[in-house]
Structure 1
Amino acid sequence: MTALTSCGSGSEPAADGTVTLKFLIDNGQGAVDSAKAMTTAFMQANPKIKIDTETRPAGSEGDNIVKTKLSTGDMDDVFLYNSGSLLQALNPSQTLVDLTGDPVLQNVQKDYLPVVTQGDHAFGVPFGTAMGGGILYNRKIYEKLGLQVPKTWDEFMANNAKIKAAGISPVVSTFKDTWTSQLFVLGDFYNVQAAVPNFAADYTAGKAKFATTPAATAGFQHLADVHAKGYLNEGFGSATADQGMKMLVEGKGAHYPMLSAQLPPLVASMPQAATDVGFFGIPGTDPAKNGATLWEPSAVYIPKSTKNLDAAKKFLAFIASPAAADAVSKAVQPSGPYRITGAKLPDNAIQAAKDLQAYIDRGATAPALEFVSPVKGPSLEQITVAVGSGLTPPAEGAAQYDKDVEKQAKQLGLAGW
């Protein structure tokens, strides 16, 4: 890759017509490996465009770098950043190139676009794959006990009863890593949206609450249900996410409410994780409305400060193409489906990713609430641990969370709070 001597947001084309794009990504190994595969394939097809990839830290430090670069006009020609509500904090209408109606977006799946949109304007293309938030399950246990994937919560609980009778932990919980306790609530948003289509907008406006919306309280109730029935693994309060994944893959636990992205890193040391673990969305009340909640991939954007707009658009069009997906799949095991029309999962994709693809193919997905609302309270994982441990009643947990998000909504200056 060609290094840049300028410190601005891009360099002018060289005398031979070569353009160098600066591409800013986070320093996570998955992002680094994906970007390398993508840029190598792109530069082979476009020898006049060189891409110089730079990394930034993840988390709040990386957020600050992105915001500073945008505000000073010093952003790289293209950059990787979150989709969903965190994008709104970048004030995209003022800082990013509007791609609405541009051929760059022609392969981007339509139901992905809302998470890279402000108002009626779309600003980015998906980088990497979606991941599912729901139930990872051991397929060997299901096969051995003759169980079917449940489409309602009652069916799920009936499966748990049979699994417990067989001497296996029905539901793996790992509350030592408190973040893992949130999945029954956060992964249930598909069902919330199916029951109350305007919930995200009303919740953001301070009109809808978890405690007063039965479909939203249900996630807290689920946590209480599996604990009350004795369906959790022994030592769930001190178990870690790594231990939970191992239990699931080894068949010592049947279900684990979790993100599908936890699986690919295990495949090297436990190859059966690719085939023996499947995925299903958290079941609701209506089998006809069965679906799954998605954590959408991040996106690549172009700042208005770029001096190389045509080359940057060419690169984004490539990122949003089946060719880029194929290149990435060879380097990084996908944890879910690509959000690009025509992009296929490789034959050796993990089973959980294939299961998630089936939900997308039938249009039965919704983005997690954090992609469609900026309101997420910092204490949810402590509240869900308490509810899931039988210490706090579910209705009280939902009310506590409503109070928790109120602080954050006021900090964000949202109307209606």
Structure 2
Amino acid sequence: MRSFRSKKLAIGAGVLAVALGATGCSSGGGDDADGTELSIYIDSTQSSVDLFDGLIAAYNEENPDVTITTETHPAGGEGDNLVKTRLATGEMNDLFFYNSGSLFQALNPDQTLVNLADEDWTGSLLDDFVTTVSTDDGLYGAPVGASFAGAMTYSKPVYEQLGLEVPTTLDEFNANNEIIKAAGIDPIAQTYGDTWTSQLFVLGDFYNVLAQDPEWADEYTANEAKFVDEPGLAGFQNQQDAFDAGYFNEDFASATYDDGVRMLVEGTAAHYPMLTGNVASAVGANYPDAVGDIGVFPMPSNNVDEPGLTVWMPNGLYIPKSTEGATLEAAKDFAAWVASPAGCDAAAASSTLGGPFVVDGCDLPDDVPAIVSDMQPYFDNGQTGLALEFLSPIKGPALEQITVEVGSGIRDAADGAALYDEDVKKQAQQLGLDGW
């Protein structure tokens, strides 16, 4: 296994050479899998539906005797609760698609999930992904798709039209926003109709937090660092300041994620703080002619020497302990195939990727979108850092509601940060962490 941070990941073709051969991941499905039916629980976003449609179709070309269906749940907090309820009641589907990192830790994986640590394919995974789907007692997830960043996506045509340069500081970013606003274009799209999208000002800023205090994640986990204090407060403050400056679209309270992507593509909004994987997938699926028009740069700060990207690991595919017998063997076979070069190829063919893969032997196609090309220098130069949810098990459930309030002028940044510091206490105590 290799470390995501210690290895400079190129984003072009040829990344992560060598490999786990596809034949090592049951190209025929195995006798135990023949005639088996599998059900997978996934979120209802179109990009996830398209991704699994492609994965299942490609897997069935090699394994025609396995019938795989999907069932969807809402994204965000509502979906989190449904996943936890099904696991707690033993009524989860045969497999399910879910976050890695802190949200995975909240599933009580040692008690609810099948341990995959002894599966041969796990040796091909990058170490930083392994840590996001593991506990001290096991490894529980297979990576689905590629890594991605939380950053400021932007309209290249708007920047060209107004003669703007990509900002490297917060002051430069806000100067651009003033020019954009004066031109009658919304500087920043916000889409609180889908509450989960409100979090990126805070979550995407974490590279800047670590750049100022490399021990912040450990201090936070030990209850020694708080979001209400700098450098953690900055993400909340930047969101409040952007609202106060009138940079958001007028319908920010009701606009949805799909609206945000559309505004970016149409050039009616210049920026959208978002996950690169989500934006790349949505643009590739719905606006394929615009994949060269959407770029990305790191969340801006005045407090770091060099800007950098906050990086997310892919979501995982998990098997609940309620899956048994021949169905369990078939589920393991599908998970192994997803985490192989064949699975990566299928993911690349059925979605627009937002970053590099985390499996040895998985190459990205040559024709990656501009959003991925823009990320390459940051990966090549080591200007990346993992998101907080991969460095700490603590993520409070109310963040998306709090950031909606901060971004709507209902609550100021300091109050929002203090409320979130309070929100995480219960989870930290449930996890039995020292200092809480």
TM tier, shorter chain? 0.7 to 0.9
Q: Any idea what SS the aligned residue of 1:160 has? A: helix
Equivalent residue, structure 2, for 1:55: 70
Tell me if 1:183 matches 2:204.
no
Q: Which aligned segments of 4 or more residues in structure 1 are displaced greater than 6 angstroms?
A: 308-312
142, 151, 159: which one aligns with 1:142: 159
One-letter amino acid of the counterpart of residue 309, structure 2:
A
Give percent identity, aligned residues only: 47
Q: Is 1:340 the equivalent of 2:374?
A: no
Q: What's the CA shift for 1:43?
A: 5.4
CA-to-aligned-CA distance 1:107-133 (integer Å, 9 cap, x gap): 323332221121375332201233432
Structure 1 residues 177 and 116: CA distance shift in structure 2, 3 A: closer
Instruction: State whether residues 284 and 351 of structure 2, in contact with CA within 8 Å, keep that contact through their aligned partners in structure 1.
Output: no
Q: Given that residues 311 and 387 in structure 2 are in contact (C-alpha distance below 8 angstroms), is that contact kept between their aligned partners in structure 1? A: yes
Q: Which one of the candidate residues 375, 393, 396 is aligned to 1:377?
A: 396
**1:360, distance to aligned residue in structure 2 (A):** 4.1
- Equivalence map 1:17-416=2 (5 Å): 17=31, 19-20=33-34, 23-27=38-42, 28=44, 30-31=47-48, 33-42=50-59, 44-45=61-62, 50-58=65-73, 59=79, 60-69=81-90, 76=94, 80-93=97-110, 96=113, 98-100=115-117, 103-119=120-136, 121-212=138-229, 214-260=230-276, 261-267=278-284, 269-285=286-302, 288-301=305-318, 307=325, 315-356=334-375, 359-410=378-429, 414-416=433-435
CA distance in 2, matches of 1:266, 1:230: 26
User: Could you list the per-position Cα deviations for residues 21-72 of structure 1 after superposition, in whole angstroms to 9, with x for gaps in the alignment?
Assistant: 664422445445434543554455568xx534243443223333334449xx
TM-score, normalised relative to structure 2: 0.76
Contact 2:284 2:352 in 1 (8 A): no
Question: What is the alpha-carbon distance in structure 1 between the residues aligned to residue 139 and residue 186 of structure 2?
Answer: 45
CA distance in 2, matches of 1:175, 1:90: 26
Paired residue secondary structure (1:233): coil
The structure with more radius of gyration: 1
Structure 2, unaligned stretches of length 5 or more? 1-29, 74-78
In 1, Cα distance between the equivalents of 2:286 and 2:54? 23
- Equivalent residues of 1:69, 1:75 under 8 A apart: no
* Deviation for aligned residue 1:135: 0.9
AA aligned opposite 1:246: R
Normalising by structure 1, we get a TM-score of 0.79
Could you list the per-position Cα deviations for residues 159-199 of structure 1 after superposition, in whole angstroms to 9, with x for gaps in the alignment?
Answer: 22333344433222334544433211121122223333333
CA distance in 1, matches of 2:382, 2:104: 24
Which structure 1 segments of 5+ residues have no match? 1-15
1:137 CA drift (Å): 0.3
Structure 1: which amino acid aligns with 2:345?
Answer: D
2:66 aligns to what SS in structure 1? strand
Residue 157 of structure 1: CA displacement? 2.1
CA deviations 1:355-414 (Å, max 9, x no partner) are: 345544544333433344443334433433343344543223222222233344446554
Alpha-carbon separation, structure 2, partners of 1:98 and 1:174: 38
Tell me, in whole angstroms, the C-alpha distance in 2 between the residues paired with 1:23 and 1:416. Answer: 43
Partner of 1:11: none
Q: 1:99 and 1:378 mapped to 2: Cα distance?
A: 27
Looking at structure 1, the residues matched to 259 and 409 of structure 2 have their Cα atoms a distance apart, in angstroms, of 22
By relative contact order (CA 8 Å, sep 6+), the higher-ranking structure is 2
Contact 2:143/2:315 (8 A) holds in 1: yes
Distance in 2 separating the partners of 1:136 and 1:90: 31
Name the count of aligned residue pairs: 395
* Structure 1 counterpart of 2:260, one-letter code: G
Residue pair 1:104, 1:314 contacting (<8 A) in 2 also: no
Compared CA separation, residues 302 and 357, structure 1 to 2 (3 A): farther
